[in-house]
Every structure is written in structure tokens, then in C-alpha cells.
Amino acid sequence: MPDRFAQKLLTWYDQHGRHDLPWHHNQNAYRVWVSEIMLQQTQVATVIPYFEAFMARFPDVQALASAPVDDVLSHWSGLGYYARARNIHKAARQVVEEFGGEFPEDQEQLESLTGIGRSTAAAIIAQAFGKRAAILDGNVKRVLARYHAIPGWPGQTKVLKQLWQHAEEHTPDERVRDYTQAIMDLGAMVCTRSRPDCQACPVQPGCTAYAAGETGLYPGSKPKKEKPEKTTWMLILEDREGRILLERRPPSGIWGGLWSLPELDPAYGTEELQEACQQKLGLDCAEPELIAGFRHTFSHYHLHIQPARLTVTGQSSVADSDNQRWLHRDQALTAGLPAPIRTLLTQPEQNALL
DNA sequence: AAAACGTGGTT
DNA sequence: TAACCAAGTTT
């Protein structure tokens, strides 16, 4: 029995879907891949300018593979989830070395590439190769959770398994490319998180949640947890030439691999800052000047950032290396900084804690 | 299995 | 103001 779900969706898509997003033009596996990675947990409007700039700088997988990772990171600066940038660079090299520069069309081989999971692999297969594969992103989860009234939070394995099951069932053999885009568009434009426009929905007649008047119950919400509060010193170390010291952050953890300001343990008191700079960095500094601290909220904790400005008085004993660089402000801003650090350096007053 | 991983928009 | 969360994957 043919699945009417897909047919109705496709008819709706022809009239109302989004047909000209940047990655729909000159569509190939590389462009689909880059867009899919950028779009992970990131809204379309946010991605568009990043996608355009990224494509201009890295037009194909060879260009990306042969670029320095710092170039990739700087193009990712402000997008968040920087593991994606490290992974996309690594995966580009995998494609060149293990697959001769051509993306494999096989789901399992695609998933062997760093940063490509089940849904992203399926998106590439469907969008770039036009072959049947089921995706399950946030939009599809919402549509299917409502259509089939699946209780529970999709983060639970049991719920996720059911959703994948339905995603597979609904995916048609024909027009997979359009279907994949259609179901995401439906979730983004009609079956929205709040106030879904059920009157405009092509699959409303079969929707279990709508029939019960309970679209608001699906998908189940994530259990909430307390966000821990953390604190750190952020040092704006300025030498006699007006340059600022940047440090590369560790490859894992928050802002992994990005350039940022040197941090110091919050256990140090204000009066111990000078000494700590001498001990940990070998830098002689004048009295620290505290500037407006602020709280930055991540998805899983709050971070109190307390910036301190210190002028380096002696000869700088820190030479440029792979992990430390002295840069003038303008250069520093092009280095690929985390968004809050960029704000701190450009408009420190904006963060002021009241 | 659950936590980690960012930022900006929406409510 | 702050919770909630978006074209998820990795550990």
C-alpha cells in the first residue's frame, strides 16, 4: 500500500516549500554535507552567511582538506559547536585520503566520516544522490511525534527508536530528495514547536495529536536540570606595542581549539593576579585593572567571566608559538574567537553586570 | 545512557 | 529575565 503521507507532503511542498536556499543551488555532496553540518542544532537564518563565506573560501573538498585548521576554525567563529569545525576538516581529509576525493554513496561509509551520524549521512544520500534514505532531525521528530502521538522525550532511546521506525516507513522510493526537504519544511513552517498551523497542514487528517487536540504534548520535553555556576578570570594582557596575548584552547572541552584569552583559576584573588602572571606566564605586569564582569550562559552551565586588564611592563618572555600569539586587536578579531570573547574585546561595556 | 558541546532566536 | 531549543554527533 502506497504511503499517502509522502504523497500529500510532496504536493504541499511543490506549492509551499522552500526551494532556493543557498545549498539548493549547484547541489553536490560537498555542499549538502557542509550545509548539513552547519545546520546541526543551528537555525537556517544563522547558517546562510556562514555557508556563503565558507563556500567562497573552501569551494570543494580538496580546498578544505588542504587548508590549515585555523582557517576552518576562523570561518566557524560565532557559529558554535566548534567540534563540528574540527571534524569537518578531519573528514575532508578522510574523503581525500580514503575515498579518492569523492564522497561515498553508502550510508555506512558516510557514517565512518567524523561528524557524520545517521541523519546527516541520510541527508547526503537523499539530497545529493537522490537515493532513498530516512532522515530524522528536529523537524521530523516533531512532525512524527505528533502525527503518531508518540509520548516521551526524543532523547530517550526508546522514543528515538520509534521515531526512526516511522521515519523509515514514510520515506518514499520516488522523489526522496524533495520528500526530505518537504518534511523538514513542514516542521519548520507549519508543524512548528509552538502554535502549529494545523489548518495549513497537508497531513492533518491523519494526525493523531491533532485529532486529540493535543499537539502541544508532543514531542515530550527534555527533563530540566540545574545549571552549575562556574567562574574564571580572563586576562587581557597587553604589551608595550598594544598587542594582546591569545592562547589556543585545548582541543576538547568548551571552545575547543579556538583562540581565546588566557584564563586563570578563580581561586586567585585580585591582588594575586600579578604574581600569577609572573609564575604561570613569566610576564611582569603592572597592577591589574578589573573591568565589567559578566555571566555567560552555555547550554549546560553558567560561567562568570571576570576580565582583568594587565599591562606587561617587562620584556615579553612569551614568544609566538602554536599555542600562544601576540596580536593587535584587529588581528585578534580575525583569529577565530568565541563569540563572548569577541564581544568582550570589541564592546566591553556591553557585558556590564548590574 | 547520559552528558557535553555554542550561539542566537523565541516565548 | 530566563527558560527553552534549533537541519545532531561524540564520548
What's residue A348's pLDDT?
Answer: 74
What's residue A321's pLDDT?
Answer: 87
> 1.10.3720.10, 1.10.340.30, 3.50.30.60, 2.40.50.140: which CATH number matches A4-217?
1.10.340.30
- Residues of A known to be catalytic: 36
Task: List pLDDT tens digits, range A44-100.
Answer: 999 999 999 999 999 999 999 999 999 999 999 999 999 999 999 999 999 999 999
User: Hey, where are the domains in chain A?
Assistant: 4-217, 229-351
The stretch A111-128 carries a mean pLDDT of: 98
Task: List pLDDT tens digits, range A212-256.
Answer: 999 999 999 999 889 999 999 999 999 999 999 999 999 999 999
Task: List pLDDT tens digits, range A302-338.
Answer: 999 999 999 999 777 778 888 999 999 999 998 889 9
Confidence of residue A3 (pLDDT cuts 50, 70, 90): low
Q: Does residue A331 contact residue A320 with C-beta atoms inside 8 Å?
A: no
Q: Which nucleotides of B are covered by protein (CB under 7 A)?
A: 1-11
What's residue A1's pLDDT?
Answer: 40
Side-chain-facing half-sphere of A85: CA atoms under 13 Å: 28
Which residue in A60, A61, A85 sits closest to A74, CA to CA? A85
Distance between CA atoms of residues A318 and A302, nearest Å: 31
Q: Worst-scoring range by mean pLDDT, A22-26, A30-34, A172-176, A345-349?
A: A345-349
Q: Which nucleotides of C are covered by protein (CB under 7 A)?
A: 1, 3-10
Distance between CA atoms of residues A24 and A222, nearest Å: 32
Distance between CA atoms of residues A138 and A188, nearest Å: 9
C1' of nucleotide B5: residue with nearest CA: A81
Assess whether pLDDT exceeds 60 at residue A2.
Answer: no
C1' of nucleotide C5: residue with nearest CA: A41
Assess whether pLDDT exceeds 60 at residue A344.
Answer: yes
Assess whether pLDDT exceeds 80 at residue A351.
Answer: no
Rg, C-alpha atoms of chain A: 24
Query: CA torsion, points A306, A310, A315, A319, in degrees to nearest 10?
Result: 30
Residue whose C-alpha cell reads 520528500 in the numeric block: A179
What's residue A352's pLDDT?
Answer: 60
- Cα-based distances in Å from A202 to A15, A115, A209: 11, 34, 14
CA of A346, C1' of C8: distance in angstroms: 32
Topology, domain A229-351: Nucleoside Triphosphate Pyrophosphohydrolase (3.90.79)
Distance between CA atoms of residues A166 and A42, nearest Å: 24
Cis peptide before A172 (omega within 30 of 0): no
Confidence of residue A354 (pLDDT cuts 50, 70, 90): very low
A47: the nucleotide nearest its CA (via C1') is: C7
CA of A77, C1' of B8: distance in angstroms: 14
**Which amino acid belongs to residue A87?**
N
CA of A142, C1' of C4: distance in angstroms: 15
The stretch A261-288 carries a mean pLDDT of: 94
